[in-house]
Amino acid sequence: MVRIAHISDSHLGCSLFQLTERREDARKCLKKAVDMAMQHSPDILVHTGDLFHSPLPQNDDMIFVIELFKELKDKVRLIVLDGNHDIPYGYRYNFSPLRGLEIMELITSTGNGPYSTFTEEFDGKEVQMHLVSWTSKHQFEYFLNSAKTNGGISLFFAHDIPVMKEDLPVHFNYYGCGHKHNFWLDQEYDIGRPGSTCIVNWNREMTGKKKLIVVDIDNSGKNEYTMQTLNDVREFKFITGLDITGMGTEEANQTVTNSLSRLAPKKKKPIIIVEVNGLIDSETERGIKRKELIEFGEKKLDPLFLHIEPNWQCMGPRNVDLSEPLNVEKSVIEYMEQTKDKMAQEILESLPKLLGSEA
Ligand SMILES: [Mn+2]
């Protein structure tokens, strides 16, 4: 039997909302994922790309990775692929930071090209591996369709698998990929995606999960899967489904306040993101007390960062209902009242003069 532990997309160097604390978090998240993986004593630990958020990682991230991978050197076959974030575009920087790690023999990757293959024996069984770093769909399909297997166990790892699962050749025992940051596993087609080790794009990741995928493969044709939830080291509180459609100013502010009041973070300095949805008029929109709401939340919850995402739509000014449209005086009064116009008192005072009824 060969055991694979699969993780992906660590994005070292990314900092959500420019929070420098998140750079440290990303490192801790990768360490946590690796520790979790190693507890399963895998033969192969595969990271399917986007180890770094940028092809020019800062030294603190690079040194962290070198130290982490050095520890793993004699314990596991470590495979790391280039993701789209690791690969430099343009002509100035030609090398991915993974090349250095490969030269130091800390990882196995695809070298200067997007593809490599090798065979290794685990538990007396030959295991053939096909690795595809980030590349064009055209090239990916070429590598996928020309990869030959020798009848033993064969594995296919790519940063992304941009083809329908139904169109994959059936002869690989496991397809591992990354790129998208939420967990996904299809046990019928044996395709797995662990998701990222930390939260990178909150708006795309707030409903998904991240998991370590452990795959046991023998010749029986049926893989054993073990999944372990991988939470970010930082506590995230996402408030979704908040709908302020049709609400007035006070009710809208109260709705957001109430939802903040209900939160009970378990860890220190959480990141709190409140997404406010709905269809409102511009009077309500102008009356939303963003600053006060954030101050209220910060005082109550002591977050690292609190963000209110204005995901509502504004349908323009509120309708003014005139009870007697042909009665000019009454209509002006009703208009001033309903729009809460600041000039209301002055206008009302000078209204008789304007209408000529003083004469
Ligand atoms: Mn990624």
Q: How many Å lie between the centroid of ligand 1 and the Cα of residue 86? A: 9
Do residues 16 and 47 lie in contact, with contact meaning Cβ atoms separated by under 8 Å?
no
Q: How far is the CA of 128 from the centre of ligand 1 (A)?
A: 26
Q: How far is the CA of 88 from the centre of ligand 1 (A)?
A: 14
Residues 100, 157 within the same domain: yes
- Compute the distance from residue 63 Cα to the ligand 1 centre, in Å: 21
Question: Are 300 and 220 part of one and the same domain?
Answer: no
Whether pLDDT at 359 is above 60: no
Instruction: Please report, in angstroms and rounded to a whole number, the separation of the first and last CA atoms in the chain.
Output: 103
- Same domain for 61 and 38: yes
Query: Do 144 and 246 belong to one domain?
Result: no
The percent of residues in the chain predicted with pLDDT above 70, rounded, is 98
CA of 116 to the centre of ligand 1 (A): 21
Q: How far is the CA of 247 from the centre of ligand 1 (A)?
A: 38
**Which of 229, 249, 272 finishes a domain?**
229
Q: In this predicted structure, what is the pLDDT of residue 93?
A: 62
pTM over 0.85: yes
**In angstroms, what is the span from residue 217 Cα to ligand 1's centroid?**
26
Residues 1-29 pLDDT 10s: 999 999 999 999 999 899 999 999 999 99
Expressed as residue numbers, the domain containing 244 is 236-314
The more confidently predicted of residues 346 and 186 is: 186
The domain boundary, picked from 198, 229, 260, lies at 229
| Cα(50) to centroid(ligand 1), Å | 5
Residues 357 and 325: their CA atoms lie apart, in Å, by 18
Distance in angstroms (rounded) separating the CA atoms of residues 310 and 285: 10
Quick one: pLDDT band at residue 350, thresholds 50, 70, 90?
A: confident
CATH number of the domain where residue 73 is located: 3.60.21.10
Q: Is the pLDDT of residue 199 over 60?
A: yes
The total of other beta-carbon atoms located within 10 Å of residue 301's CB is 17
In a shared domain, residues 116 and 214: yes
CA of 308 to the centre of ligand 1 (A): 25
- In a shared domain, residues 33 and 145: yes
Instruction: Indicate whether 247 and 134 sit together in one domain.
Output: no
Task: Supply 181's token pair.
Answer: 């940051």
**Are 113 and 80 in a shared domain?**
yes
> For 60-71, what is each residue's pLDDT tens digit?
999 999 999 999
182 CA to middle of ligand 1, Å? 10
Looking up tokens 């603190």 gives 60
- 85 and 65, same domain (yes or no): yes
pLDDT digits (tens, 9 = 90+) for 153-192: 999 999 999 999 998 887 799 999 999 999 999 999 999 9
State the average pLDDT over residues 68-84: 96
Q: Are residues 104 and 150 in the same domain?
A: yes
Domain count, the chain: 3
* 295 lies in the same domain as 225: no
> How remote is the CA of residue 125 from the centroid of ligand 1, in Å?
32
Mean pLDDT for 42-48 is: 98
* Chosen domain end from 229, 249, 283: 229
Span from the CA of 339 to the centroid of ligand 1 (angstroms): 48
Cα of 180 from ligand 1 centre, angstroms: 6
Average pLDDT for the chain: 93
Please check whether residues 301 and 337 belong to one and the same domain.
no
Distance 213 CA to ligand 1 centre (A): 17
